[in-house]
Structure 1
Amino acid sequence: MPITTLSRWRSTGALVIAAGVVVALAGCAAGANAGTGSGSGSSADGKVTIGAASNGAAKETTLTVAEDTKLHDALPSDVKKSGELVIGIGALPSGFPPLAYTGDDQKTLTGAEPDLGRLVAAKLGLDAQVKNSTWDNLFVGIDSGSVDVGFSNVTDTEQRKEKYDFASYREDNLAFQVLKSSDWTFDGDPSVLAGKTVAVGSGTNQEKILLEWKDQLEAAGKTLTVKYYPDTNSTKLALDSGKIDASFGPNPSIAYQNTQSAGSANPTTTAGTYSGAGGSLQGLIAATTKKDNGLVEPVQKAINELIDDGTYAKWLQAYNLSNEAVQQSEINPPGLPLDNS
């Protein structure tokens, strides 16, 4: 799923992180079951450690989740009999912090995505077994039944709903990153970009959106300068030196960069977000199951119970992703249209 540059590929819904972000963190475990050991936040007893070995991406916090026996009883018979929820993550080979990557202990698959999977498993009264693979093999696992549910930043699309069921759990957002000293904000109106210089990854969904705004502004006699840099470090240097006013990229990676820069001479912050699906639809990230296998409804109800009891908010806050919260999980909500997926 993650390759080399800050982008969100609409053909896959994948989050990809600049090489500079992952150098110190992201050597993913070679084993298929990475992240299932005692240091991984196992949910067998209802206790889940958020941010285990996350190297500062999240404040490590242990949460206790009460099993819902009715949801457990409603599980497909094979899942209930196994006593495990096999959670698929498509983070090989390099990981994508803060969502999924090998932790600083060099063995725990940590990040917001596997952590939510562990919380859901605990709510369902199951032991979490986290399987890490490549992005393509994540879907092979779901198709074959070796993976029960994917928690891997999968965008809900109409095309994917032909094969999979979805239970939404996060907004799919892009974000503008600025220096914390900046007073510029973005509220969804592209007119505030007039006269600004913004960095963006080439060939990305966010570039497509930004260039459309550039055309709109130029048609109104205004300017927007778009800049390209080879990696995250170069973009950050440009932001620090005032060569750019902002950087536009996937919200989770920018949230992670903001966390990492908090103690630096030039801390950054998020000036505003925008739906990765564009202005007419709020994009959604969703748990992914094989279509009609009976698992999506228990997963959706488990997520909603985590929302209702406050666990969900603590999970998002730990990873600085509160600006992607949903009010409730929905089964197969409107997704990215076929002509844009």
Structure 2
Amino acid sequence: MKILQWFVPLAVIALLAGCSGTASDGNGVIKVGTDAVYPPFETQKGNGEIVGFDIDIIQAIAEAEEMEISVHHTGWDPLFEAIDRGQMDMGISAATITEDRKKKYDFSEPYFEAKQLILVPENADVKSLADLKGKKIGVQSATTGEAVVTKAFGKTYKGLRGYDDTPGAIDDLVAGRVDAVVADNGVVQDYMKKKLEGGKFKTIEDDSFDPEFYGIIVKKGNQEMLDKINSGLEKIQNDGTYDKIYNKWFGDKK
């Protein structure tokens, strides 16, 4: 099924949604929000097309359930607001399922397991997060990367540097403006493969970091949409489609 992809400012989406509280456009097209600055999960090409692992997954789910979808780059915080207001029917954006988020939103069954990684210069004497105490640490704001740093050093930790996206934090690490970056393994590894070749940086796995699981977000109580998503996810996991998509973006699934 063809997937439509647009960037639409939230103000315009609000006008389209009107007062109905539903994101559907009247033609049965289901609106999917994402923050398309998180390769390899979601990113925009030069022509505005949104691509990535998450996009392939939601497209496959839509095909399995015979749904027509359109994908919109909303940004990170606005994604949750758009779901709250009924301006988006669902969101997929490498969103970790957490107890706090589950209080406000419903999540699909997990579709990806992730873990936080620490990215530092190759010569850094760092073996765990604890070794970064007193250092400047870059994170994407309002993510689990930020959460593990504040859990370790406190919410008022002066060395914490928040960014709109993880690539921005890594760029500042390369420029020497922060000493380390803490972020999801998939994003860090993809960035290293594409832009940090040459052995100048390394990743550290901290055993204190718990595994995380990504889920697809829907408005609290939208059981019909949640059931369709979970049904489609189960189908693509059982028929091999999920593994093909995983291998495309991350290599052979272990």
TM range (shorter): 0.5 to 0.7
What CA deviation, in whole Å up to 9, does each residue of 1:92-142 have, x standing for no partner?
xxx2323322213x2202222223221211111122211221334323332
2:199 maps to which of 251, 255, 266: 266
Paired residues for 1:205-224 under 5 Å:
205-208=147-150, 211=153
Aligned to 1:302: 232
Aligned to 1:251: 185
By how many angstroms is 1:227 displaced? 11
1:96 maps to which of 24, 31, 38: 38
Distance 1:90 1:136 in 2: 9
1:314 maps to which of 241, 244, 251: 244
> Structure 2 vs 1, CA of residues 251 and 268 (structure 1 numbering), >3 Å: closer, same or farther?
same
Distance 1:165 1:125 in 2: 22
Runs of 5+ consecutive residues of structure 2 not aligned to the other structure: 11-22, 162-167
2:221 maps to which of 280, 292, 297: 292
Distance 1:114 1:296 in 2: 17
What CA deviation, in whole Å up to 9, does each residue of 1:206-228 have, x standing for no partner?
4346659xxxxxxxxxxxxx998
Distance 1:135 1:314 in 2: 27
Aligned to 2:83: 142
Kept in 1: contact 2:64–2:232 (CA 8 A): yes
TM-score (norm: length of structure 2): 0.64
Kept in 2: contact 1:90–1:152 (CA 8 A): yes
Larger Rg: 1
2:117 maps to which of 171, 175, 195: 175
Kept in 2: contact 1:97–1:253 (CA 8 A): yes
Identity %: 21
Aligned to 2:66: 125
Distance 1:313 1:134 in 2: 28
Aligned to 2:14: none
1:249 aligned counterpart, secondary structure: strand
Distance 2:182 2:103 in 1: 31
Distance 1:274 1:98 in 2: 24
1:87 aligned counterpart, secondary structure: strand
Question: Structure 1 residue 84 and structure 2 residue 9: aligned?
Answer: no
Kept in 1: contact 2:138–2:181 (CA 8 A): no
Aligned to 2:103: 162
What CA deviation, in whole Å up to 9, does each residue of 1:283-339 have, x standing for no partner?
32210112222111221121122222222223233333878x9xxxxxxxxxxxxxx
RMSD of Structure 2 on Structure 1 (CA)? 4.4
> Structure 2 vs 1, CA of residues 163 and 249 (structure 1 numbering), >3 Å: closer, same or farther?
closer
AA paired with 2:216?
A
By how many angstroms is 1:174 displaced? 0.4
By how many angstroms is 1:86 displaced? 1.9
Kept in 2: contact 1:169–1:286 (CA 8 A): yes
AA paired with 2:227?
E
Aligned to 1:31: 8
1:120 aligned counterpart, secondary structure: helix
Kept in 1: contact 2:40–2:52 (CA 8 A): yes
1:201 maps to which of 138, 155, 174: 138
Question: Structure 1 residue 114 and structure 2 residue 55: aligned?
Answer: yes
AA paired with 1:306?
I
> Structure 2 vs 1, CA of residues 313 and 270 (structure 1 numbering), >3 Å: closer, same or farther?
farther
Distance 1:308 1:154 in 2: 23
Structure number with the higher helix fraction is: 2
> Structure 2 vs 1, CA of residues 109 and 177 (structure 1 numbering), >3 Å: closer, same or farther?
same
> Structure 2 vs 1, CA of residues 313 and 237 (structure 1 numbering), >3 Å: closer, same or farther?
farther
> Structure 2 vs 1, CA of residues 247 and 136 (structure 1 numbering), >3 Å: closer, same or farther?
closer
How many residue pairs are counted as aligned between the two chains? Answer: 219
Distance 2:203 2:185 in 1: 8
> Structure 2 vs 1, CA of residues 209 and 252 (structure 1 numbering), >3 Å: closer, same or farther?
farther
Distance 1:273 1:305 in 2: 34
